[in-house]
Amino acid sequence: SADWSYEEAEALGQALEKFPPNTLCRWRLIYEFFCEKCPSSHHEKLLHMAKLMPTQWCTIAPIVGRTAAQCLERYEYLLDQAQCRREDLNENNDDPRTLRPGEIDPNPETKPARPDPIDMDEDELEIEKQLEEARRLAALQKRRELRATDIEVRRYHSRKRDVNYNVEIPFQKLPAIGFYDTTNEEFDPEKVDLRRLRQDNVNSIQKEENEQQPIRKRSKLVLSAPQISDIKLEQVVKLGQATEIAKQQVTETGTPATETLLGDYNLTPDLRTLSTIGATPGITPVRDRLNINAEDGLFDGQMKQIESIGLFTMPKERVAKKSRIHKDVQKQGINFNKDFGQHILKNPLIITSMIDKSAIRPTDIVLEVGPGTGNLTVKLLEKAKKVVAYEIDPRLVAELQKRVQGTPFQSKLDIVIGDILKSDLPFFDLCVANLPYQISSPFVFKLLLHRPMFRCAIVLFQREFAQRLVAKPGEKLYCRLSVNTQLLAKVDHLMKVGKNNFRPPPKVESSVVRIEPKNPPPAVNYQEWDGLTRICFTRKNKLLVSEFKQKKVVALLEKNYRIHCSLNNKTITNDFDTKAKVEEILEQSGFAKKRARQMDMDDFLGLLHAFNSEGIHFC
């Protein structure tokens, strides 16, 4: 470059050989060192651009050919020189940009970095050591001069945490300042008992040693199993008593021969004589299981013989019957009667699910059968306008009234004491109930035949009964209940309920069923329909021809046919055969070879229409 001289290039080469090329700070030091010698034309250009674009050093730097930091530093340097000329100061000695003692450099990142000791050679390391030693000697000389002028310089050292026992006494308690008056003290030398003090000291030391020793737990006392049970021991005592009674009778009669046959159970046999029987002296012989069983059988035979004589009668032990009352029920003081089917639903999640599926409106009147303690009733009262509850047990009625007494629900609850099957149902919109299982079938048909019709019923039934309600033709549980219920309503199975969700738990599983009556109801005489299905499902797997050939069925149909003819002024011929008439109707309608378990609703309606059109009725 034209701006560089030969000496400058030589100095640059020596610097590159001295410092590693990968050290950025070294390159920056050399670069900035030689950038100091830039011509005056560059200074004028820099000042002109700074006047046109003040503080825009990123824009000025590429124009001048330097970096933004170099442009800013050079601009400040030129301003400092101009200030020195204005104040008539020496530019070289009194540089205003040089730091005075105690000042902090505001821009340390713009200054060249000091060399690292790792990159130094031996000469430079030696120079650094000499400088460090010079600083230490200067600090030492300064402290000596201050000490000579009576200025003490304290040197702070890190304080150790341990106690120096040569300087201080641990837990030292200094006496109070001043004289202590001992005139009020009473001292009796005769009462001083040094032996007692010594003994107390010994006891305290022993107590501390005992506390330090680990406490040993006593091992369990392991005893061998008894060779004879308590029951047999009682029998031995009773046998001895019976022997004493027999001895008294023998002594009264005076027959010594009989007296020798009776054993004496009051004396304990000599163990030394028994020990001689075994192979090893002092050890009782081990009896095998056959001998033990034989001796037990002989003992039982002797007891039976004594009882047969009439000398002694063995009392029979009475075994206490296990209570079937639930533990929680015993705590409450209520004994649920299973004859009424009292199984209280205790799971709140199932209760909430039943209420959600019933879709209760604020204007609905809800019918509940068997409220029990009111777990379901309270939830119904929160959403319904009124709840009519039928309960047959007066104890649970009192419990339910006590539960809602003093609450806003008291006016919304109407409790009827009595049997639901013997009572007339009131008007209601919904029926939500945990029904007693023994009244399931009659209650369902009483509910479906009730007028005016209700909107929906969510009822908890036994699992098998619920499966019969929703069974389809061809299924195993398809029966007369399925046909009669599905004629009048739409039945859906909602969820299964385990027996552990009740208190006390029943012996069977349960299910929740939704019953929606068909509105309008089908135009069918229900009594006629029920009579037909009763005959068809007597044996649902047999052919209908075989079902209608039974004598009782033929007699019933003939009786109903004659009543129908008499009411309608029809004459019956003498050779009229009811059995042949029924077979003819079945053949013409095509139901002769069908079975009841495979027939759906339309098939039964067609069969009923075929019989009624010929004047044969079932009620």
Superfamily of domain 338-522 in CATH is: Vaccinia Virus protein VP39 (3.40.50.150)
Three-state secondary structure call for residue 457: strand
Q: Is 343 annotated as a binding residue?
A: yes
- Does 434 count as an annotated binding residue? yes
Q: Beta-carbon neighbour count of residue 9 at 10 Å?
A: 12
Is 419 marked as a binding-site residue? yes
Distance CA 56, CA 439 (A): 99
In the chain, where are the structural domains located? 38-119, 338-522, 532-613
pLDDT value of position 329: 47
Query: For residue 470, what pLDDT is reported?
Result: 95
Q: Provide the token pair at 275.
A: 């020990």
370 is in an annotated binding site: yes
Taking alpha carbons only, the member of 20, 71, 19 closest to residue 46 is 71
Q: How far is CA 54 from CA 41, 67, 496, in A?
A: 19, 16, 86
B/e letters for 93-107, b = 16+ CB within 10 Å, e = fewer, are: eeeeeeeeeeeeeee
Backbone dihedral region for residue 150 (phi beyond 0: left; psi -120 to 50: alpha; all else: beta): left
Q: Rounded to an integer, what distance in angstroms lies between the CA atom of residue 532 and that of residue 618?
A: 6
Q: What is the mean pLDDT of each run of 10 residues along the chain (619 residues)?
A: 53 61 50 54 83 84 80 83 72 55 65 63 80 86 80 60 70 78 76 61 65 62 73 82 79 66 54 44 45 52 54 48 47 69 90 94 95 93 95 91 91 93 93 93 93 94 95 93 94 94 91 94 90 92 91 91 88 86 91 92 92 89
One fold for both 338-522 and 532-613?
no
Residue in 259, 219, 222 with CA at minimum distance from that of residue 243? 259
pLDDT for res 29: 47
pLDDT at 11: 62
**Residue 446: burial class (beta carbons within 10 Å; 0-12, 13-18, 19+):** middle
Structure tokens at 259: 């007296």
- Containing 66, the helix (H) or strand (E) segment is none
Backbone angles phi and psi of 391, in degrees to 5: -135, 135
Q: What is the pLDDT of residue 281?
A: 43
The one-character DSSP state at 607 is: H
User: What 3-state class would DSSP assign to 419?
Assistant: coil
For residue 610, the surrounding DSSP H or E stretch is helix 601-613
Instruction: Report whether CATH 3.65.10.10 matches the domain 532-613.
Output: no
Residue from 341, 325, 306 nearest 236 by CA: 306
CA distance 158 to 180: 42
Quote the pLDDT of residue 99: 63
Specify the pLDDT at position 487: 94
pLDDT at 153: 63
- Give pLDDT, residue 27: 52
End-to-end CA, the chain: 131
Task: Quote the pLDDT of residue 307.
Answer: 53
